[in-house]
Amino acid sequence: MADSHEQRAPPCAMVIFGAGGDLTRRLVVPALYNLAGARRLPDEFRLVGVDLAAGTVEDWRSGLTRMMDSFVGSDGAFNADHIDRATWQWLTDRMSYLQGNLEDPQTYRRLGEHLASLDKTAGTAGNHLFYLAIADRFFSTTIAGLASAGLTREGDGCWRRVVVEKPFGHDLASAKALNAGILKVLGERQVYRIDHFLGKETVQNIMALRFANGVFEPLWNRQHIDHVQITAAETVGVEHRGRFYERTGALRDMVPNHVFQLLAMTAMEPPISFDADAVRAKKAEVIEAIRPFGPGQAMRDAVRGQYGAGTVLGRAVRAYRQEPDVAPDSNIETYIAWKLQIDNWRWAGVPFYLRTGKSMQRRSTEIAIRFHQAPYTLFRDTDVERMNPNWMILRIQPDEGIALQFAAKQPGPSVQLSTVSMDFAYKTYFRMAPNTGYETLLYDCLIGDATLFRRADNIEAGWRAVQPILDAWANTRPGDFPNYAAGSNGPAAADELLGRDGRAWRPLE
């Protein structure tokens, strides 16, 4: 987030636990390649892969090279049109590999020896970044292992940082326990809890839109805004992640983390500076201001859905219950819609409607702000029957951009209004290099800027806010699952949620 993006990161060794995993191969390594290409990594950068799988650094390198080559022309997160051989070579020359079991203290001892030798021979200066690209059940063990081997101890001007992926806990109690365990051995400053939504340029741009322009902020409140809709609709189903999803569901997977980041960016008060703690304090305040509610209201204001068979983007899709590793009578939700209120002066009385789901009609992540309707008086004696409200749409993905919809007079002798749109598309103004979204986040870890990472209080506030829904759902069966067809806009009950308030979701098509 910092303007220090002009510089290379300081000398350091980065250790990836889970070196053979999907996250490393698809996102973290391509992001490092992009950072290397942009000359953000120092010559004294080293990358150490740690994994249970036996193998040599050569095996690791060649597996990664095959993976990078397979991205060329693909439609994955990283879709470069070619791999720059010199850049890739620069990065692979700096790799080493350590086979090790995360539950074995010897792994951390051997890692410590390896890092000490890199500090001496490669000039990594004692600066070490540990990236936990591993299953969440190993987070605590790994952090404890690092600490017992003395690898998290800072001193002599060097830093030690740990990046923790999601899922960060399973509910409020487990998130608290995880935070407590981590903070026993690390300072909050050393912990980087990642939420990849914050790596998306368009999410970061919400702050620029609001706080770098004089025109919007005066309208950004209950006097002018009728309601806000936040959508994270995906066309993909659970793919090969049935086992994970059966333990997780759409609410845990998306809401207290990604969707709340969008909510916090949209609803936060202006921070007094862009300092990490100032920004994170304002974001935490918004989540803490979500109006508490009980089980009855959770059942009324939150809707769960599960997809049945259908057609998504012209392809036949099987029902969630037929996906691999999913129970044939599973009651796990693949969709959630939720109406919430934020109890503060800016937002009192303005509902925020959130929805996220898999196997939906269209992929669309957006924040839609509906302004109050204008008074009718001016057009009373004209042909204008109905005035459409103004919407401002922040499109996070795809087609990143911002649109403002307003009424314009149609040419002609009588007064007829049409809704028109002022549209800003990122791609027409900026060259968008192939980007995984992890580049900024990784670079920020290396330069020690935690603005885009989640603090312990932020994580716990998120879980606290969703806990009543988790509890209410755990104690009741959904009854009518599956309740939306793959390729549709979600369950009918989600439409009723807004219908009750005389409102409707923005169409996904």
Contact (Cβ atoms closer than 8 angstroms) between residue 15 and residue 128: yes
- Does the annotation mark 82 as catalytic? no
Query: From the CB of 489, what's the least distance to ligand BG6, in Å?
Result: 18
Task: Tell me whether residue 41 or residue 238 sits nearer to ligand BG6 (CB atom).
Answer: 238
- Do the beta carbons of residue 23 and residue 165 sit within 8 Å? yes
> 148, 157 in Cβ contact below 8 A?
no
* Residue nearer to ligand BG6 on the CB measure, 253 or 400: 253
Q: Which residue is nearest to ligand BG6 (CB)?
A: 253
Q: Tell me what percent of the chain is helix, strand and coil, each rounded to the nearest 5.
A: 40, 20, 40
Amino acid letter, 220? W
CA nearest to 445, candidates 35, 25, 18, 26: 35
Stretch (H or E) spanning 166: none
- The whole-angstrom separation of Cα 271 and Cα 274 is 7
Closer residue to ligand BG6, CB minimum distance, 130 or 438:
438
Nearer to ligand BG6, 334 or 451 (CB): 334
Instruction: State the minimum distance, in angstroms, from the CB of residue 365 to ligand BG6.
Output: 6
Two tokens at 165?
Answer: 């992926």
3-state secondary structure of 150: coil
> Least CB distance from residue 313 to ligand BG6, whole Å?
15
Q: What is the DSSP letter of 3?
A: G
Q: Collect all residues with Cβ–Cβ distance below 8 Å to 481 and sequence separation of at least 6.
A: 305, 306, 321, 330, 331
The torsion defined by the Cα of 466, 467, 473 and 474, in degrees rounded to 10, comes to 150
In 3D space, the residue among 36, 40, 48 whose CA is nearest the CA of residue 90 turns out to be 36
* Residue of 82, 114, 258, 372 marked active site: 258
Please report how close the Cβ of residue 3 comes to ligand BG6 at its closest, in angstroms. Answer: 25
Q: Find where tokens 């790799």 sit.
A: 95
**CB-based contacts of 71, cutoff 8 Å, min separation 6:** 30, 78, 79, 80, 83
- Give the shortest CB-250-to-ligand BG6 separation in angstroms: 8
**Nearer to ligand BG6 (CB atom), residue 249 or residue 308:** 249
CB of 168 or CB of 391, closer to ligand BG6: 168
- Looking at residue 58, its amino acid is E
Exposure on the CB side of residue 479, measured as CA atoms within 13 A: 6
For ligand BG6, the closer CB: 339 or 358: 358
- Spell out where 335-445 has E strands: 335-340, 352-357, 364-371, 391-397, 401-409, 417-425
What residue ranges bind ligand BG6 (CB under 6 A)?
A: 166, 234, 253, 365
Q: Which residues are known catalytic residues? A: 258
